[in-house]
Amino acid sequence: MRELNFFNPYLSPRRSIKVGQLQVILAIVFLLLVCGSIYSWNIIRIVKYSKDIYDYNAFMTDPANIAAVKNYTETKQKVDIIQQYMQGFAPIEAELEAKSIVSSALINKLNTALPHEVYLENMNITMESVQISGVGASRNVIAQYEHNLLKLGIFRDVFIDIIKVETEGGSAFEFTANCLLAGGASNEAKQ
Q: What's the CATH superfamily of 104-190?
A: General secretion pathway protein M, EpsM (3.30.1360.100)
With beta carbons less than 8 A apart as the criterion, state whether 155 and 180 touch. Answer: yes
pLDDT truncated to tens, each residue of the chain (191 aa)? 678 877 777 776 666 667 788 899 999 999 999 999 999 999 999 999 999 999 999 999 999 999 999 999 999 999 999 999 888 888 887 776 666 566 677 788 888 898 988 999 999 888 888 899 999 888 899 999 999 999 988 889 998 887 888 766 657 889 999 999 887 544 444 44
The overall pTM is greater than 0.75: no
What is the rounded distance in angstroms from the CA atom of residue 35 to the CA atom of residue 102? 83
Beta strands in the chain (DSSP E): 118-125, 129-136, 155-165, 173-181
- Residues in CB range of 149: below 8 A, 6 or more apart: 110, 113, 155, 158, 177, 179
Show me where the domains of the chain are located.
104-190
Give Cα 41 distance to the centre of its chain. 46
* Nearest alpha-carbon partner for 109 in 170, 51, 53, 155: 155
What is the rounded distance in angstroms from the CA atom of residue 40 to the CA atom of residue 42? 5
Q: What are phi and psi of 137, to 5 degrees?
A: -75, -30
| The pLDDT of residue 187 | 44
Give Cα 38 distance to the centre of its chain. 49
- Name the packing angle between helices 19-60 and 63-98 (round to 10°): 60
| The pLDDT of residue 20 | 83
| The pLDDT of residue 3 | 80
